[in-house]
């Protein structure tokens, strides 16, 4: 199949065509030619649009598929459709299914079901059996079975000895441990960020301390395992090119950003991400008790939101994720304290981030969706160059659109009905052009 992308602004720091407007000819899944005013015959499909931009394919590092086990909320087909509509060519999926992805059988099921989908699905396997934080899974077998990383997903690792041994166990295979930092004894029955707003609304708070303590703990444990020297003591160090051993998922507080910033300055092999919705809302948004805004980690203060944006700008935060968590109506149409946590976000990561952008350049934003996630997950490098595989995302960063419908089975999004800036045009992946429907 041949495709011609006409007059696209190339956004790819690794490409010699970065910042240029070029035509891109794709043939049989490869970029065959990049140039100006390319001539093709009438049989070639031409893709063109106003203010068309193109980058390497976007990667979402944190997606809940709910399949197997909770297919009434989402399944692998619908999650891939939503991901494509959101501009993603690759997604990393959490192990919190039923059964949990804690053995090669379930891992194999997910990988088989993902075959033929318009996105590449990368499986994050559980650290512990049933993701309950007690007994280790066979991580080496899961690694050889295709797991790209290890995490208990929505269940933060509470046992420090277990986390320590996991880091040690993964070292020989250059494996990645992903953990959402939360001290759950401090967050029991919590509904939203602990602060003035939670007091005014009469809701049990989730203190920032619960996240920050675990970031500090995990950093200390990693330091114990790796014995990393400070960056100042390493001359001509290439440590920033080494994939991280520990990844903090969905950080949300200013103190967490600062702790990770300091650890990176010391050369520790770490990375972190932030959920797109955390960049948009603060805790004042919950004044109307909208359960579609109930998430964990919760929306924090305006100072925390500003710190997250600053962390993205200076490179402390490596990636932006959707934290796509489908919940059916029965899980959300309840009193606030009874409703489940979670937002669907695959289709709105780009639009919500552009709309509420705080001084992040387009190149920086695209880096958080492409280069950095691939590096963290040990995925092959993708760049826009002749002869390279065509894994591309097409978009218009200035287009204004309304998010009226979702391809997800679940509808738990606070953005439905909202107008956003920054629209996906489609993706090119597996030799196919997938237009946003």
Active site residues: 323
Helix (H, G, I), strand (E, B) or coil at 68: coil
Close Cβ partners of 333 (under 8 Å, ≥ 6 residues apart): 291, 339
What count of other Cβ atoms lies within 10 Å of the Cβ of residue 285?
15
Residues whose CB is less than 8 angstroms from the CB of residue 345 and which lie 6 or more positions away in sequence, other chains included: 275, 276, 277, 322, 323, 324, 325, 352, 413
Peptide bond between residue 275 and the one before it cis (omega within 30 degrees of 0): no
Rounded to 10 deg, the angle between the 254-265 and 302-313 helix axes is: 30
Q: How far apart are the C-alpha atoms of 217 and 200, rounded to whole Å?
A: 32
SS3 letters across 130-146: HHCCCCECCHHHHHHCC
Quick one: the chain helix, strand, coil %, rounded to 5? 35, 25, 45
CA distance 215 to 243: 19
Residue 346 Cα distances to 38, 68, 107, 350, 389, angstroms: 34, 19, 22, 9, 24
Residue 399, SS3 per DSSP: strand
Cα end-to-end distance, the chain, whole Å: 21
Q: How far is 86 from 436, CA to CA, in rounded Å?
A: 8
Cβ-based neighbour number of residue 232 at 10 Å: 10
- Report how far apart, in Å, the C-alpha atoms of 143 and of each of 58, 108, 115, 156, 164 are: 23, 12, 19, 20, 18
User: How far apart, in whole angstroms, are the C-alpha atoms of residue 273 and residue 260?
Assistant: 11
Backbone angles phi, psi at 122, to 5 degrees: -110, 130
Residue 282, phi then psi, degrees to nearest 5: -115, 180
């Amino acid at each position: 199949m041949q495709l011609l992308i006409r007059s696209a602004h190339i956004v790819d720091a690794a490409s010699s065509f970065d910042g240029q407007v070029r035509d891109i000819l794709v043939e049989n899944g490869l970029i065959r030619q990049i140039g100006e005013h390319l001539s093709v015959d009438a049989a070639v499909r031409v893709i063109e649009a106003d203010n068309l931009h193109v980058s390497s394919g976007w990667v979402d590092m944190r997606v809940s598929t709910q399949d197997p086990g909770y297919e009434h909320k989402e399944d692998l087909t619908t999650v891939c459709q939503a991901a494509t509509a959101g501009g993603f060519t690759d997604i990393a999926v959490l192990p919190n299914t039923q059964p949990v992805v804690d053995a090669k059988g379930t891992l194999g099921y997910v990988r088989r079901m993902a075959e033929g989908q318009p996105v590449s699905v990368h499986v994050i396997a559980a650290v512990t059996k049933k993701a309950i934080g007690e007994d280790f899974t066979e991580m080496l077998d899961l690694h050889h079975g295709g797991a790209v990383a290890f995490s208990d997903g929505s269940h933060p690792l509470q046992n420090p000895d277990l986390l320590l041994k996991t880091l040690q166990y993964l070292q020989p295979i250059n494996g990645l441990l992903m953990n959402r930092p939360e001290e759950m004894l401090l967050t029991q029955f919590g509904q939203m960020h602990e602060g003035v707003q939670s007091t005014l609304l009469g809701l049990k708070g989730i203190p920032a301390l619960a996240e920050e303590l675990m970031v500090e703990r995990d950093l200390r444990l990693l330091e114990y395992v790796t014995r990393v020297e400070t960056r100042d003591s390493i001359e001509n160090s290439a440590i920033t090119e080494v994939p991280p051993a520990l990844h903090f998922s969905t950080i949300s507080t200013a103190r967490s950003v600062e702790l990770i910033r300091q650890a990176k300055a010391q050369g520790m092999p770490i990375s972190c991400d932030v959920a797109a919705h955390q960049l948009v809302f603060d805790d004042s948004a919950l004044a109307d008790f909208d359960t579609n805004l109930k998430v964990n980690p919760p929306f924090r203060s305006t100072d925390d939101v500003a710190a997250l944006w600053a962390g993205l700008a200076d490179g402390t935060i490596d990636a932006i994720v959707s934290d796509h968590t489908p919940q059916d109506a029965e899980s959300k149409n309840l009193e606030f304290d009874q409703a489940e946590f979670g937002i669907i976000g695959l289709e709105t990561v780009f639009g919500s981030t552009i709309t509420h952008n705080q001084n992040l350049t387009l190149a920086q934003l695209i880096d958080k969706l492409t280069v950095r996630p691939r590096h963290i997950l040990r995925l092959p490098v993708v760049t826009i160059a002749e002869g390279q595989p065509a894994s591309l995302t097409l978009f218009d960063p200035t287009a204004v659109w309304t998010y009226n419908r979702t391809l997800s089975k679940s509808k738990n999004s606070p953005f439905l009905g909202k107008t956003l800036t920054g629209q996906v045009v489609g993706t090119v992946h597996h030799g196919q052009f997938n237009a946003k429907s």
